[in-house]
Every structure is written in structure tokens, then in C-alpha cells.
Structure 1
Amino acid sequence: MNQKMFLSHQMAPSLLASMPLVKMYVFAIWFTQLPQSSPNSNVVWVGNRDQPVNGKRSSLSLLRSGNLILSDAGQRNVWSSDTSSSWPTRLTLNDNGNLVLYEIRSQESNVIWQSFDFPTDTLLPGQQLMNDTQLVASRSDTNLSSGFYKLFFDDNNVLRLLYHRFDVSSVYWPAPWMLSFEAGRSANNSSRVAVLDSLGSFISTDNYRFTTSDYEVSTQRKLKIDPDGNLRVYSLQQNDQWFVSWQAIADSCHVHGICGVNSMCKYDHSINKRKCSCLPGYRVKNHSDWSYGCEPKFEFLCGQNFLKLPSVEFYGNDHVYKLNISFKNCKDLCIQDCECKVFQHTFGEDIGLFRCYIKRTLVSGINSPIFRGTTYLRLPKSSTPSFLEEEESSLDSGDVCFVKLERASEHDNSFVKFLLWFSIAVGVLEVLCICLIWCSLIRPTKDSDANQQVYNFLSPFRFRKFTYPELKQATKGFREEIGRGAGGIVYKGVLSDQRVAAIKKLTGNNVGGKQEEGEFMAEVSIIGRLNHMNLIEMWGYCAEGKHRLLVYEYMENGSLADNLKSNTLDWTKRYNIALGTARVLAYLHEECLEWILHCDIKPQNILLDSNYQPKVADFGLSKLRNRNDQNSQSFSMIRGTRGYMAPEWVFNLPITSKVDVYSYGIVVLEMMTGRSSMTMEVHSDDGEETQNVRLVTWVREKKKKTTSEEGSSSLCWVEQIIDPAIGSEYEAEKRKMETLASVALKCVMEDKEARPTMSQVVEMLQSHEDNAS
């Protein structure tokens, strides 16, 4: 094998298509002596894919300490092997494509780091994919930064493909509606290893196997997850061209998110190409990259017109799912929700009932004759034929885009040409002016500052990096304090765009020096990608010197704690808050690729928006954990607030997501009873004695005493604990109240194994709603 280490240029990951291209470079390993028409197709490993260097005064150094470092201008370290050795070291690129750092001892050489342990988007023959590694697709064929598709072993030891982008995350291979054994996979294995051999045979410990179409032919091969989300094996032909000798998904439209939001994918089997098209009334955002999807041509004003789209399905992201419901009632559910974009009403032949789906987010749209259902698209009242015209594009496996252009008359063409040349002239003039201003303001001696500004601008996150003076000005010198906790102080501020924000200034253990900035930025990037309707939205951050600040949306109605004290919440609001909080905790625990524990669920950290919908806040930067390490005892200190902490913290037991379940149960009991979770004084029946008891103990005693006295009257004990501020308004929903109280008691069991998961809590609460409807 002839392979080489090199610095390859790519487009900076955050540049918009309308901006001048900036060349950035990455440290990579590639195949040599192959056609260079598309050099990135030969790349098999990248070290700094998400932190490219500018190519000037960049250096790769093997230090005497045994650490391999890639530095950018100004000696800014952007990538490192994080190794050390007191012995001499040697860096070698082996014939199998593995870059190995050896420690040279007297009689032997020990491997202290190798690129095979840190794959990017490619596996070479003999390279293993294991429980602590994953393949992540590149953003595009010309952009090697991390994209939206991943190959990994899940918690059940099954090899899967995942679509993960900002507000959505879904598995699409094997088919998500199939159980593991139905897909020929086995979860009854304790190891997670997958490998492709040199002859074209792939084997995985979950019992998944395949052989390439050229099996046993001696040639170079690579297993790669492509930017389009498909997993393919490429073999090298005698003409030195790559060809696909195996692929996981025949119909690429079944790759989730392939055409972006508000779009449909249709696969033409005759030419083996997929076609992306915007929904009627929508237009494409970026003609060169369909992953950006489409945007509406109209203002979404809660219209009541619906366009019928036969054989169109949007998989997943169901905001509401109802069984045994009429078409009219399904449509009314969408009309009543101004954020509803489509509804789908289909007959489930497997259960013999009608299904209703209400969707606010439209991703993974497929137009296929195999799908027998119908989707109804919400549009404004007046929808003209030209307004409903779709924008289409055909894409092959390489994501080449052909944009459909409207045919125009000669007169129109002349006018369009004039506008085109005029726009180009204005654009060139603007670029020249910007360059002149840039050169006049930036001195040559400030190269490092200029490079830093470029990196700030090219931040891969979807939110903004603020400067400390900006946030100081926004808060008027951190004057108006609106919250305080162990992690920091929260101030109210007004940003430069007039948005009201909550700005949290981290203190104590949350603030570190420069050596901790990389860890802070990595964790901020993960939190910034989270998106849930019941999760506080993060707008930006500040990491400047010793200052660490987080910028969030501001909640008009304050915290749940404030509202419980002021008795402003009726029964319906309290129930919806409990359900919304359960949903977002289930999202953090089980739906995110990263395993996130809150560790401090309490009324002060549940904020309420203008509609009294809950928004969980303050889930912290230090509680992110690898999913494979859920039973880790790596928490160095007790976290949480007295009265809401699970027994595991006190008895030094392994910390799992069940600590949040316990805290959630306490919060629900507080909402129902109006009492504090801390010790409270209770009078005896004769009024002569008083005793201090915990809230959980008091509720359990009420249930035990009342049910023993009343016999079969299971609702009476709930009435004994209900907050008097609610009054008698709950009479029509006693069963719903009993369900919530019973769920809360299950959540506060001392034995964590007896507690339900948050997804089970959501199912119990939602099943009651479905039965009621």
C-alpha cells in the first residue's frame, strides 16, 4: 500500500456558500498514486478535521516528551496525540495505513498511540471498530469536518447508523421499526468489535456479516460512511479508480435527513438516483447542499388550509400520536396547534385502528408508492399555483446537485444577464473595499490575532461566541441578578439585537484556566447541539481568559419554585409541567448520543415561558458522560440540592440516570401537595404532639392510612395530600391526578432498580391521556 501523511486543504466548515472561499488545512493520511481529480476521496484518516489550520507557519512536531503536536500560527496547538514517554519515540506510517507512535526501549518497541484507535469516517482492512470508537461522516466531499451521520455500537451491542443533527436524532439502519433479532442482529454478546478483512469479508460481534461483490480478489479496500449517510465498501480497480463493491442501503432515500428539513426524497431505481424536492410553498436554502433543506415562502400564521400529499411520509419526530381517532379530530388537533406543520391520518392494518400523527418538524420526508398513507400539509389561506410550485434536484451517490431553472424569454434573459453582471460588479467592489479596510486596520505584526478572529468566525457551533465586554454591557455591569446557585450567578441582560437574555456567570469549580478551555469548548459544543421544546435554549457562550459565561433565552414567568409560592398554577398547568419535564429528561437520558445527567432537578431549575410551558435549565457542563460508562463512579463530589438528592449520593453507590428520576418524583410531589421537600412539622390527630417528617414519608403514610381505612377507595388518599390552592377544580380529572401521584411515588423508591426510567414515566402519563381522549 502506498500511503502518505499530508496537509490537505478544505473549505472552512462554517463558511456560507455566498462568501469568498478560505483555504484551511488538515493533517491526514491518504492513498497516493491515484487520480487526484477528487483528492479528498483518497483520504482515510484526519487528525484535526474540526479544527483546520491556515497552512502558514503550521507545524507537526514530535516532542522529546513523546507528544505529537500539530500547531497553527502563533504556536496555537490544535491537535495532539496526548502521549508522554521518558524513552525515545519514533513515528511510523505502516503499509496498512496505520500511523503508529512507538516508544523505543532497550530491546523492544511499544505502541503508545496509533491512528487505528481513532478512526474518522473510514475503516481500513484489519482496523477494528470497537465500543469506544465510531465512524463519523464528513460534512461533504470537499469539507472533511464532522457531518451528521455516525456508525457505532449502541447500548445493546448492536451496530447501527445514526442521523444526528442539532434538534433531531434517529437511527435509520437497521430499520428502526425492526427488533434486533428481526434484522438478523444479536444483542446477546458482551463485546463490541467489527472488522473488514483484506479479502472483502466483514464480521461484527452482533452477528452481522457480509462479503463484497469482489470477494477474495486481492486489491486495496476501505469501508467508509459517506457524507450522504450510506455505508459503503470501496475497492480499487486495475485502472486505479474506486468502485462500490458493497453498500448498506439500496434506496438512499431511507437515509434520514438526506434532503434536509421541509423536503421530500424520491428514488428513481431506473437510473439509481434520488431526487430531492421542496414541499409545495417552500424553497431550497442552498442549491449546492440539500442538507440545509427548504424554507417557507410564506409567514406561518396558523392557517387552516391543507394540501393533500399522497404517498408522502415523514418518519419520526411525532409531536402528538393518537390511536382510534377520526380524520376530523386529527385535523382539529393540528389546527389547534399553531406550530403543527402537517398531520397524517392512516389506517393501521396491523392493529385495525386509525393512527393520527401531528408533526412540528419535517425531516426524513419520503415520496414512495410503497407508502399507502397520506400526509396533509398546512398552508396559508391563499395558495396560488405558482406559490405551490416545488423546487427539485436530482442527486447521485456523490451528492452532485442539478438545479432546475425556469425557461424565460429572450427579453427576460437579457434583463437577467444585466442583473447578473451588475451583481458581480457590485460584489467585486465590495470585496475590494473589505480587503482595503482589513489591511488598513490589521497590522502585519498581529497575525496571531487575525488568525484567532478567523477561528472565532469559523466556529462550528450554531450559536454565537460573545466577548466579555459585550456581556458586561448587556447586563449593565452584571447589575440585575435573577438567580443564584452552586454553579454560578444568573443575570438579566439585553443583547445588541434587543433580545432579552439570561446570562449565567460560572463560578467555583466551573471556571478553569487556559488549560481547561478545550474541555469547556467541547462540552459547550455538545450542549449547543441539544434541542428540545422543554429545554432552555442556549444562545451563546463566552470563554475569555478566566471568564466562563453562558447565554440563554429569558423566561418571562420565572421558575416553578416562584410560581408555587405565589399559587399561580392551576391543576392543568401543574400536570403539563410534570409531563413536559418528564419528556425532556427522557430526551437527555435516552435520545441524545451523549449521555447527560442533570443531577440537580428542583423547582428552581424548571423555568416557565409565557404559556407556562416548562423549560429545564442548569443541566451543567460537568455531567456529560459516555453512554458506555453509565455505571461509572467518576463523579468526584456529591451533586444536587438537599431534599432532592437520591440515596445513591449519600451511600456512595454508582450514579445512573435514576438520580434524576428520584429528584423528578420529589418535584412532582411538591407540585401536588404544595409542601416543601425538606423536613416539615406535622401535628398528631389529638393536637398534642408534633413531629418532623420528610415529604415522601408523609405522602406514603397518608396513602397507607387512608387506603386501609377506606378499603377500595383508591382516590381518597390523593385528595388528602392535594394542595389546597388548587381548590376543587380537579374533580373531573381525579384519575389523572391519581396516576401522577402514583408515578411520583414510584420515582422516589429508595432502591434505584425499582424506579422507572424517564421514558417509562412519559409512557405512563401519556397512556393515561390517550385513554382519556
Structure 2
Amino acid sequence: MHVFSLFLFLLFFSTSFAATDTVPEGSSLSVEKPSDTLISSNGDFSAGFIQVGDNAFCFAVCFTRSNPPTVLWMANRDVPVNGKASRLSLWKNGNLVLTDAGETIVWTTATVSSSNLHLKLRNDGNLLLLTSKHTVVWQSFDSPTDTLLPDQKLTERASLVSSRSATNFSSGFYKLYFDNDNVLRLLYKGPTLSSVYWPESWRLPIDAGRSTYNVTKTALLDSFGRFSSSDGFHFRSTDYPNKLYRRLKMDPDGNLRLYSFNQETKTWQVTWQVIPQPCTVHGICGANSMCSNHHVTGRTCHCLKGFRVKDPNDWTQGCVPHFDPSLFSCQSPQPMAFLHLPTTESYGYDLNVTRVTSLKECQDLCLRLWAFELSTIFLVWFFLLRSSKNPEAVEQQKHLLSATGFQRFTYAELKSATKGFREEVGRGAGGVVYKGTLYDNRVAAIKRLSEATQGEAEFLAEIRTIGMLNHMNLIDMWGYCVEGKHRLLVYEYMENGSLADNLFSNALDWKRRFNVALGTARGLAYLHEECLEWILHCDVKPQNILLDSDFEAKVADFGLSKLLNRDDGGNGNGNSNFSRIRGTRGYMAPEWVYNLRITSKVDVYSYGIVVLEMVSGRSPMEMQSLENSRGIEQRRLVTWVTEKIKHAPTSAFWIEEIIDPNLEGEYNVSEVEILVKVALQCVQDDMNQRPSLSQVAEMLLSHQNKLLPR
């Protein structure tokens, strides 16, 4: 995409042209005729071609009362057309089409109608395709670019995306949208990193005054300056309740602002903004930089010491290294020191969160992490370069990497640690797990992957993503091995084994089962929504939920769907394509069987089956063997629980019917009710009816808090 300079021109009309707000079917608007412009009947809005660069034009709706006219919507913001022979045409089949130089179609409404249609620009700035009976076939309000006008709905399918800059209308880095949890959020999506920065990602939606219990996903602005969203967020402009021309804009600097039109000055004034401190917007100064703000001079970007700006005209590209190469010289190594950066907060670089008790302890930890980063980025770490002259450096590197908690092992080391892969402690579709003792006497679980379809570089890229994950309900990965055809993962060892090992024994009382359900939901929610790269588990089952010494849940085998295949990926919201079915019979969502779209909701379904199994003590695998029909097999446990509830006179009766007899009547009735209720929501056939796992965790946590003594 080229960077365009904006050359907005005032719209002139020839005296022979009668301004109109309508284009009939079979007609077109030409880029070469300035008079080919729609004007709303009140004269406030126009629709036509505007110049955005050298021989580059976009079809746009503008507010004409301001000086200069204000662009509100664009049809082809990322694909400008030529200044010769380009036109917007309303074909007789009902399709509105924008062609470049009379040949290439660059934008279309993709509409078809047997009724005579006409294109109309309304007095509110909405561009519509209407039938003769005024039925709306298409409207620009359904597909906004960076601006929301009064009475224009912001929905799940209609988000606001900033422009690249004030002079470049192409799509930028910032987005206002409804997330999977039904919450309105601001997202920075840069070239290499994406992160939510409003509301703060470390706050639960409920703590930010938001509600995830809404299905409408709708927000609306009115002419009085009031904005309200279905998730509970709302605000009023500083000039509320004056009825004025207004626009809510996702600005190029990542701030969401409400503008009110001043009739006297013919300019827009900011009457509300969501971010009071501009430096809290992610990515605004780019990588390796600092942002500072002054109440008079405004925001300023600086490069960190040792870096220089990549493009002085575009700070979003950040800073690149600019330091003495002798820093890594074997002959004259330079001393390392810390740079004091007061009142500074960083984002997007948190490998993990560690509690420290002193500055010295924090510095030591940073040095270890720094050393690990260098080994990953350059695989030319100066300890290794000196190893031929100093054999002790190899052992020093090994211990230093071990201290970071993430290490690359050789195949020989892991074979020795497991005594030739002798003691098997588990197996699954991904491979076999062995117990081993590492050189530093740590007991580890070492998984030998059964497939090796990736090259080393691809495998290392995926491993690094998984190694960066850190959550109390995810198993800790200590290291890996990639050597020839061998692919192995090294995890912390769980003495209490898996949920499957304990479920049908007396080890798990009711309190522990409820905590396992909550912890598992939290761990999976982190994978789906909080880590930097989406991860679907694809095989949630009791065997992959491990228990530590306190019987706290630790989800294992996450990310194997990425490590074991190179299928086309998608995102956590969907559109993932998998070439083969994944998961375990009895826990698999219907999407796998019926070849439907694979999303994070497949994990939600499997989680629901696991919860029903924990409550009832009945394995879905065993119950399925009673049936022959494939469809009935998948729903056997769910059907059994549903029927018990349906025919029971009271909740106490059905609970008594389905509860695991191993509990011997020792359970909390209200907790059983909420777990079963949540589980049945999770196993809905329609994936859209299932909650997200963050919503599940919130429901369970809220219920648990209600039971605590006040």
C-alpha cells in the first residue's frame, strides 16, 4: 500500500448540473467529472470521488459544511482508483460496482435485485441502495471505516478501523470492536504485535464496569452527545444535551474521540476522548522507543539508548539497534549496566511475571532473561563463541539457561535423563510421556512427539510462542529438543498425575473438583484470549488436566495442534481450517464430525463434557459404548444428564440421581447446580450458543464469591 498525500478539493458544480441525491439504475458517476456528485437534500453531505494522492482517487461520503469537507466513509480506502475512466456504476442487476480505469473491479456491494434500485444519499450521511418501495438493500452505515455518525449502529460486524495517518486514508493499526466476550475494546494490531489497550487487559470486564452477559453487541451515538453500549459502557459529551452534528472517530493515534461541529467556525471540536494520557496507547511510538507527554507540547517519541529512529516521518515503525558491534567481541567485551528509566511502563514484552524482594534480585533476573533472548535471536551468544578457549563457558551457559526456566536440550541428554525412555507415565495422540531426571536433579515429564512434520525453524518459532506463556493453570514448560527427526518437550512433573488418574478414586473431594473446574476454565481462557497468539487446545480431556501437590489444575498439551501440523491457521474467532479431525472420542465437538468451522468453541464443548464427567463420575467413553449411532454416541452423557433434570420433580432429586457416588453425599448443592448449568451451556450443538471460557470462569468465580462468609 502506497503512502498517499491527501489533496482534498472543494466540490465545484457546473451551472448546467442540477444537484441530486439519487443515482438511478443503469447510471454511473465518473471520476473525470467533478459534477458527478451526490448532494443530500439538506446540502450537508456529498458523495463522490476525492483525490487522495498522485492520480489516486477514492469514492467517499463527506460532510460539506466543514472547511475543508470532512471524509466520513470510503468505499475503497485501501485500493484507490485511476483518475482516468474510473467510475461507480449501478448495474441493472442491482449491483453497485466501482471499477478502476474502466476495467478492474475494486469494490462492490455484491447485491442482486430484480426490482428497480436507486442509490440515494440521505440527510444523515447514509448512502443507501433502495427499491422503488424504499426497502433498504444495502447501506454504508453497515460498513463504517473510521467514523460513526449519530444513529449509526456499531455492531459485531461493523467495527471502526483508524486510517494510517492524517494524510493517508488506508487502514491503520487501531480498531474499536466487540470482542468474543461481548465487550467493546480498543485493539492495536501492528506489523509484528497485537494487544488490547482499552479497557486495560489486566482488568476483568466486570472490574471495568462491563458486562459480558449480552448478545446484542450494539453501540449507538445520538445527536445530543450520548453514547451507550450493550456491555454497559456509556458516556456523554461535554456539550450534552445540545443537538449538534457529531461524529465518533477512531483516530490514527489510537485514541477514540467524539467531535462536535461548530457552526460559527465551520470546524470540529473534541468534546470527549477515551484515552486521557496519549502515551498509554500501544504502539504509538513503535518498538524500542519511549513515549512522553507534556501538557503544553503534547506527546513526544524517543528512541531508547543504543537505538535510532527507523523513519523520522513515521514513529510507528519504531527504532532499530545502533550500538558498537564490539559489545559482542570476544577480545574486548564491554561491561553491562542498567539504564534508569523513571516513571516508565512497558507493554508487550512480559515473558512472565515474577515477584522479587529487592532491586538486585530484579537485575539478576533481567540479566538471565536478556542472555536467553540473545541466545534465541542470534544463536551466537558470546559464551558459545568463547567455548573453544574456555570449556567452562559451556557449562556456565547451560546453568544460565536453566535458571531462566527454558532450555534447549540435546536428544542424548533427554535419553539419558529418562534412562532410555524407560518409565512411561502417559500417552496420547501427540506422543508418549516419560518420567526423567535432568542433570540438575529436577524431575521432569518428557514428551516425545509422535510426528515431525515441521522444519526446525518452524518448530522453534512455535516453541518460542508456547514457552512465553505463563499462567498458574498451565503446565510449565522447561525446555525442548529439536534434533534431526526428534521433537521433544520438557515439562515440570506432576506428582498427583492427571485428573483421569484421580477422578474415580477418593482423592478428589467436592471442593477439589470445583476448583479443578474453575482452574481449567481459567487456563483455557488464557490460551484463547490473553496470550499474544491464539492457541486452541483441540484435545481437552481429563488426561490432559494435571494436578499439582495441592490438586490445583494445570492444563497440559496446549499448543500441540500448532506443533504437530502446518494446516492453514485462523484466529481464535474462527475460520480455522484443519485437514483432519483432532481430539478424543467422547469429548469432541460436533464441528469436527460435521466438518464445520473450527473455533475456540471446540474447547468449550470438550470442557463441558469434562465437567459433567467430574460431577457424575461417569466416563463419556464408557457410556458411548452402549450405542451404535454415531450421532447418539456423541451426546450420550449429555442426554443422560438432561433427561435426569427434565424428569426430576426438584433439583435435589436430579442432583442425587447424577452425582458421583464416590463423593458419598459430601458436596455443595448450589455448586453442583452451577457446574451442571454451565456444562450444559458449553455442550450446546450450536457453537454460537456456547459461552467463552472467560465467561465460564467469571460465572464460577462469581458463584464462589457469593458463598464466602461476609
What is the TM-score when the length of structure 1 is the normalising length? 0.49
Unaligned runs of 5+ in 1: 12-21, 343-358, 361-484, 493-499, 503-529, 537-554, 575-581, 602-612, 628-633, 665-748, 761-773
Cα distance change on mapping 1:658 and 1:184 into 2, 3 Å:
closer
Partner-residue secondary structure (3-state), 2:341? strand
Alignment partner of 1:295 is 2:218 = no
In structure 1, what is the equivalent of residue 600 of structure 2? 657
Per-residue CA shift, 1:255-310, capped at 9, x if unaligned?
122211111112212x1612221112221122122111112212584973221222
AA matched with 1:534: T
Q: Kindly report which structure 2 residues correspond to 1:412-561, keeping only aligned pairs within 5 A, or say none.
A: 533-534=464-465, 557=482
CA distance in 1, matches of 2:489, 2:250: 50
CA distance in 1, matches of 2:103, 2:537: 37
Alignment partner of 1:590 is 2:513 = no
8 Å CA contact 1:535, 1:615 repeated in 2 = no
8 Å CA contact 1:534, 1:616 repeated in 2 = no
8 Å CA contact 2:58, 2:74 repeated in 1 = yes
AA matched with 2:312: H
Partner-residue secondary structure (3-state), 2:212? coil
Partner-residue secondary structure (3-state), 2:168? coil
In structure 1, what is the equivalent of residue 567 of structure 2? 620
Cα distance change on mapping 1:599 and 1:60 into 2, 3 Å:
farther
Q: Kindly report which structure 2 residues correspond to 1:598-677, keeping only aligned pairs within 5 A, or say none.
A: 616=563, 618=565, 620-621=567-568, 623-624=570-571, 626=573, 639-640=580-581, 647-649=588-590, 652=594, 656-657=599-600, 659=602
CA distance in 1, matches of 2:285, 2:576: 41
Cα distance change on mapping 1:296 and 1:70 into 2, 3 Å:
same
In structure 2, what is the equivalent of residue 698 of structure 1? none
8 Å CA contact 1:130, 1:193 repeated in 2 = yes
Per-residue CA shift, 1:153-210, capped at 9, x if unaligned?
2233222222222332222223334443443333333322211111222222222222
Per-residue CA shift, 1:568-607, capped at 9, x if unaligned?
7777899xxxxxxx99998873248997758699xxxxxx
Partner-residue secondary structure (3-state), 1:328? helix
Alignment partner of 1:209 is 2:234 = yes
- State the shift of 1:615 in Å: 7.2
AA matched with 2:49: L
In structure 2, what is the equivalent of residue 219 of structure 1? 244
CA distance in 2, matches of 1:199, 1:279: 45
AA matched with 1:257: G
CA distance in 1, matches of 2:598, 2:534: 12
CA distance in 1, matches of 2:344, 2:462: 26
Percent identity reads 45
CA distance in 1, matches of 2:92, 2:578: 36
Alignment partner of 1:26 is 2:58 = yes
CA distance in 2, matches of 1:339, 1:624: 32
CA distance in 1, matches of 2:166, 2:370: 38
In structure 1, what is the equivalent of residue 302 of structure 2? 277
In structure 2, what is the equivalent of residue 77 of structure 1? 105
Unaligned runs of 5+ in 2: 1-42, 378-450, 468-479, 495-520, 541-559, 608-678, 685-689, 696-710
AA matched with 1:640: I
- State the shift of 1:80 in Å: 1.1
8 Å CA contact 2:568, 2:577 repeated in 1 = no
Alignment partner of 1:266 is 2:292 = yes
CA distance in 1, matches of 2:87, 2:535: 37
8 Å CA contact 1:599, 1:619 repeated in 2 = no
AA matched with 1:648: A
Partner-residue secondary structure (3-state), 1:309? coil
Partner-residue secondary structure (3-state), 1:188? coil
Q: Kindly report which structure 2 residues correspond to 1:103-122, keeping only aligned pairs within 5 A, or say none.
A: 103-104=131-132, 108-122=133-147
CA distance in 1, matches of 2:269, 2:108: 34
- State the shift of 1:535 in Å: 8.0
AA matched with 1:34: S
In structure 2, what is the equivalent of residue 144 of structure 1? 169
For residue 563 of structure 1, the aligned residue among 486, 491, 502 is: 486
Cα distance change on mapping 1:88 and 1:654 into 2, 3 Å:
closer
8 Å CA contact 1:598, 1:619 repeated in 2 = no
8 Å CA contact 1:103, 1:110 repeated in 2 = yes
Alignment partner of 1:49 is 2:81 = no
What is the TM-score when the length of structure 2 is the normalising length? 0.53
CA distance in 2, matches of 1:208, 1:663: 32
AA matched with 1:228: D
8 Å CA contact 1:646, 1:659 repeated in 2 = no
Q: Kindly report which structure 2 residues correspond to 1:712-723, keeping only aligned pairs within 5 A, or say none.
A: none
Per-residue CA shift, 1:693-740, capped at 9, x if unaligned?
xxxxxxxxxxxxxxxxxxxxxxxxxxxxxxxxxxxxxxxxxxxxxxxx
8 Å CA contact 1:563, 1:569 repeated in 2 = no
CA distance in 2, matches of 1:103, 1:127: 21
Alignment partner of 1:307 is 2:348 = no
AA matched with 2:279: C
In structure 1, what is the equivalent of residue 49 of structure 2? 7
In structure 2, what is the equivalent of residue 228 of structure 1? 253
For residue 354 of structure 2, the aligned residue among 310, 322, 326 is: 322
8 Å CA contact 2:577, 2:598 repeated in 1 = no
CA distance in 1, matches of 2:297, 2:185: 24
For residue 192 of structure 1, the aligned residue among 190, 197, 217 is: 217
In structure 1, what is the equivalent of residue 506 of structure 2? none
- State the shift of 1:114 in Å: 0.4
CA distance in 2, matches of 1:244, 1:194: 20
8 Å CA contact 1:600, 1:639 repeated in 2 = no
- State the shift of 1:320 in Å: 2.6
Partner-residue secondary structure (3-state), 1:217? coil
Cα distance change on mapping 1:639 and 1:583 into 2, 3 Å:
farther
CA distance in 2, matches of 1:663, 1:84: 41
Partner-residue secondary structure (3-state), 1:150? strand
AA matched with 1:262: N
CA distance in 1, matches of 2:163, 2:692: 34
In structure 2, what is the equivalent of residue 19 of structure 1? none
Higher strand content, 1 or 2: 1
CA distance in 1, matches of 2:211, 2:680: 34
8 Å CA contact 2:293, 2:299 repeated in 1 = yes
CA distance in 2, matches of 1:234, 1:220: 8
Cα distance change on mapping 1:52 and 1:231 into 2, 3 Å:
same
Partner-residue secondary structure (3-state), 1:250? coil
CA distance in 1, matches of 2:527, 2:573: 13
